[in-house]
């Protein structure tokens, strides 16, 4: 690919808009995941007694188990959410730009 073509794409407002959007969305997703995970770690350090509390009177299952399993399921769902976003917002723009520059 020639330099001029590359710079033509780089200057395209739609391409610049795409970069901004993708960066913002992927960073937000990453931050959400980190907040969830490190909140859990901090709970382990500072809220051990809460995590050890049974979810009902006489139960053996406690909040720690529910939250722990919950984080595993959340991790999977959030990757699904990103796919959904990328399929509906990212890919169509990529297709459009590739067509525009016939690549």
CB of 25 to another protein, least distance (A): 8
> Which token pair is 3?
């330099």
Identify which of residues 13 and 80 has a Cβ nearer to another protein in the complex: 80
CB of 13 to another protein, least distance (A): 14
Name the residue among 8, 37, 3, 31 with its Cα closest to residue 97.
8
Dist CA 86 CA 94 (whole Å): 10
Name the residue among 70, 66, 69 with its Cα closest to residue 53.
66
- Provide the 3-class DSSP secondary structure of residue 12: coil
CB of 99 to another protein, least distance (A): 11
CB of 16 to another protein, least distance (A): 9
Interacting residues with another protein (CB under 8 A) = 1, 3, 6, 9-10, 15, 18-19, 22, 26-27, 29-30, 33-34, 37-38, 40-42, 44-46, 48, 51-52, 59-62, 64-65, 68-69, 71-73, 75-76, 78-80, 82-83, 86-87, 91, 94, 97-98, 101, 103
Most distant CA pair in the chain, distance:
72
């Amino acid at each position: 690919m020639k330099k001029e073509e590359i710079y033509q794409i780089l200057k395209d407002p739609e391409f610049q808009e795409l970069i901004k959007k993708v960066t913002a969305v992927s960073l937000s997703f990453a931050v959400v995941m980190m907040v969830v995970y490190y909140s859990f770690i901090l709970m382990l350090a500072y809220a051990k007694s809460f995590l050890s509390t049974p979810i009902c009177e006489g139960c053996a299952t406690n909040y720690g188990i529910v939250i722990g399993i919950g984080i595993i399921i959340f991790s999977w769902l959030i990757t699904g959410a990103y796919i959904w976003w990328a399929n509906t917002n990212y890919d169509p723009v990529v297709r459009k730009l590739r067509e525009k520059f016939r690549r």
